[in-house]
Amino acid sequence: MSKWDWSYVWEALPYLYRGAIVTVQATVLSFAIALVLGLIIALIRQSPNRYVSTAMTEVVEFIRSTPLLLQVFFVYFVGPQFGILIPAWTAGISMLGIHYAAYCSEVYRAGILAVEEGQWEACTALNLSRIRTWRTIILPQAIPPIVPALGNYFVGMFKETPILAAIAILEMLQQAKIFGANNYRYTEAIVMVGFFFLVFSLAASAIVQSVSIWLNRRYRLQ
């Protein structure tokens, strides 16, 4: 038996293909949740009401200080004990999204705080409404510089999707494991998964970088 056998590579492909689709779907959906929810959290944290902003800060701190795996288990296994039945896919995607929303909110916050105080003052002097100030003045300046940092979390989250295997979601690594167990042969499948993660991460980084360059040019920020 040789150390590397190409026939196993071809045999494993359909498994890995199914897994890869699940992995990519999970990443894109969860990250969409993280992006939107993270922004909402960051905006709530800027609330002039101190109770509201402090409460939000505590929630973010709580989410960041407990393991993602525990959060996923909590929703999937503990939820049903209280009559809350959430399908594995929904539970996995939303917890991954919420967990990363907490991280992304910190990034958004850094971007928002980096906008000069004078921009706010100009908005007040011109009598712009609060919503208009955020939408057309503050966020277009706050977001382009933080795209690379958000992109890091995108790639980071992608690499954490195997955690979904713990609640029986057949993502790519789990598929490789099943294939390995069925054939008593792990080498090819595991290496291929690693290779896919590498390629996808590099591609994602490149996309993030071009988005960043485009946004900074679009809004004339250096």
Partner 1 sequence: MNEPRIRFENAAKSYGSLTVLDNPETACNEKVMNEPMVRFENVTKRYGALTVLDELNLDIARNEKVCIIGPSGSGKTTVLRMLMTLEQIQGGVIWVDGEPLTHMQKNGHLVPASDRHLRRVRSKIGMVFQHFNLFPHMTALQNCMEAPVSVLGLPKKQAEERAAELLDMVGLSDKRNHFPIQLSGGQKQRVAIARALAMRPKVMLFDEVTSALDPELIGEVLNVIRKLGAEHDLTMLMVTHQMGFAKEFSDRVCFFYGGKIVEQGPPDQLLGNPQNERTRQFLSAVLEAR
What does R_g of the chain's alpha carbons equal in angstroms?
Answer: 21
Interface with partner 1 by CB under 8 A: which range of 9-17, 56-64, 130-138, 157-165?
A: 130-138
Instruction: Find the shortest distance in angstroms from Cβ 46 to partner 1.
Output: 17
Residue 213 interacting with partner 1 (CB under 8 A): no
Which of 141, 161, 174, 212 touches partner 1 by CB under 8 A?
141
Which of 10, 62, 77, 219 touches partner 1 by CB under 8 A?
219
The vertex-64 CA angle with 61 and 69, nearest 5°, equals 145
Residue 59 interacting with partner 1 (CB under 8 A): no
Q: How far apart are CA 168 and CA 132, in angstroms?
A: 45
Residue 121 interacting with partner 1 (CB under 8 A): yes
Instruction: Find the shortest distance in angstroms from Cβ 168 to partner 1.
Output: 47
Q: How far apart are CA 100 and CA 28, in angstroms?
A: 12
Which of 140, 166, 178, 204 touches partner 1 by CB under 8 A?
140
The vertex-206 CA angle with 199 and 113, nearest 5°, equals 130
Sequential DSSP letters for 143-169: SGGGHHHHHHHHHHHHHHGGGGGGGT-
Task: Indicate the residue among 7 and 129 with the shorter CB distance to partner 1.
Answer: 129
